[in-house]
């Protein structure tokens, strides 16, 4: 028997159950941020959640119902483009968030923070933790990106540009709906904080960096890195575009705290070495080290 195109095993069921639990936790954290920080101070999030918050404010309808209703078309759209597994987790996350917006205020006896500045900062941080937890477990509560992907294929704009335009429209609408441009500005700041925290949740505090080093002393530099930093390197054969000379390129993945050290080791051996550093959003597999714990 299969589900999501995979054989049902004990490990697979454990993975699904674990993700559902964390989707519930993330949705509850997100609802806490919305109900106790953002909504009482008339601050909105970006995307479909922001539209749902303004609609609930104007109509008086429960926020949870509106979140489900507005997200449902995008969930159907995702079924065709992103597959059953993503739709299942997204549906679960959306339902959990909708339910949590109802029971969280009751649990906290409607105690809220009535300070827009503090609500903006702490609401953004807490919302980022909640949304980041949902995204880490293959779910989503916002159909904005799915719309952006569709429009990006038919227009000269990128996905990021479309999402930015969409959210700017939402924040402008927030100023009109709440009759306060402070609400719009606080919403922009909250959105920025939220997505910075989401990056931290998804990538971790110990962000990795990939480094490419081009030097005429590749073996010597590589040995120095492996000895001093206790990490492995990979040699890649390359050829200079102008000179046509054969070179060996050094590649390795390190933490951001090790950047200064690897620069010092390289420049000490070859002051003319070329070093390129890039962010690594996710690392899987074994990072070879000599230490045995």
**pLDDT for res 293:** 32
pLDDT of residue 291: 42
Question: Could you tell me what percent of the chain has a pLDDT over 90?
Answer: 22
Residues 46 and 144 sit within 8 Å (Cβ to Cβ): yes
| Total Cβ atoms within 10 A of residue 134 | 31
User: What percent of the chain clears pLDDT 70, i.e. is strictly above it?
Assistant: 84
Per-residue pLDDT tens digits for 108-138: 766 777 888 899 999 999 999 998 898 888 8
Does the structure show a pLDDT above 70 at 146?
A: no
Confidence band, pLDDT 50/70/90 cuts, at residue 290: very low
Judged by average pLDDT, the poorest of 40-49, 137-146, 152-161, 219-228 is 152-161
Residue 203, pLDDT > 90, answer no
291 vs 39, which has greater pLDDT?
A: 39
pLDDT at 200: 80
Burial (0-12, 13-18, 19+ Cβ within 10 Å), 266: buried
User: What does the pLDDT look like over 242-281, one tens digit per residue?
Assistant: 777 888 899 998 877 788 888 888 988 998 899 998 877 6
With 60 as the cut, is the pLDDT of residue 292 above it? no
Q: pLDDT tens across 51-101, in order? A: 999 999 999 899 989 999 998 888 887 777 667 788 888 889 999 999 999
**pLDDT-derived band at 206, boundaries 50, 70, 90:** low
For residue 149, is pLDDT > 70? no
Q: What is the pTM of this model?
A: 0.72
Strands (E), the chain: 2-3, 6-7, 208-215, 234-239, 246-255, 274-280
Q: What are the structural domains, with CATH classification, of the chain?
A: 2-203 (no CATH), 208-280 (3.30.70.120)
**Nearest to residue 126, comparing CAs of 198, 58, 57?**
198
For the chain, what is the mean pLDDT? Answer: 82
What is the Cα–Cα distance from 58 to 69, expressed in whole angstroms? 16
Give the pLDDT of residue 3. 61
Distance, CA of 51 to CA of 174 (rounded, Å)? 9
């Amino acid at each position: 028997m299969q589900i999501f195109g995979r054989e049902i095993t004990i490990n697979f069921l454990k993975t699904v159950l674990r993700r559902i639990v964390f989707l519930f936790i993330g949705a509850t954290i997100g609802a806490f941020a919305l109900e106790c920080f953002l909504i009482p101070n008339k601050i909105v999030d970006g995307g479909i959640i922001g539209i749902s918050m303004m609609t609930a404010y104007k109509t008086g309808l429960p926020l949870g119902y509106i979140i489900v209703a507005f997200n449902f078309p995008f969930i159907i759209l995702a079924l065709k483009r992103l597959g059953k597994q993503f739709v299942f987790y997204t549906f679960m996350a959306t339902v959990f968030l909708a339910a949590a917006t109802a029971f969280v205020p009751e649990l906290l006896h409607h105690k809220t923070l009535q300070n827009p500045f503090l609500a903006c900062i702490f609401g953004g941080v807490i919302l980022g933790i909640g949304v980041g937890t949902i995204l880490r477990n293959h779910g989503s509560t916002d159909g904005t990106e799915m719309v952006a992907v569709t429009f990006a294929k038919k227009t000269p704009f990128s996905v990021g540009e479309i999402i930015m335009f969409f959210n700017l429209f939402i924040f402008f609408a927030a100023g009109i709906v709440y009759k306060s441009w402070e609400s719009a500005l606080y919403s922009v700041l909250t959105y920025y904080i939220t997505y910075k925290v989401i990056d931290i949740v998804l990538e971790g505090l110990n962000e990795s960096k990939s480094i490419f080093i081009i030097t005429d002393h590749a073996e010597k530099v590589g040995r120095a890195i492996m000895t001093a930093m206790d990490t492995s390197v990979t040699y890649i054969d390359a050829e200079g575009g102008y000179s046509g000379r054969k070179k060996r390129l050094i590649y390795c993945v390190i933490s951001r705290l090790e950047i200064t050290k690897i620069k010092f080791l390289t420049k000490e051996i070859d002051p003319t070495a070329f070093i390129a550093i890039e962010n690594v959003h996710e690392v899987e597999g074994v990072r070879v080290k000599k230490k045995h714990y």
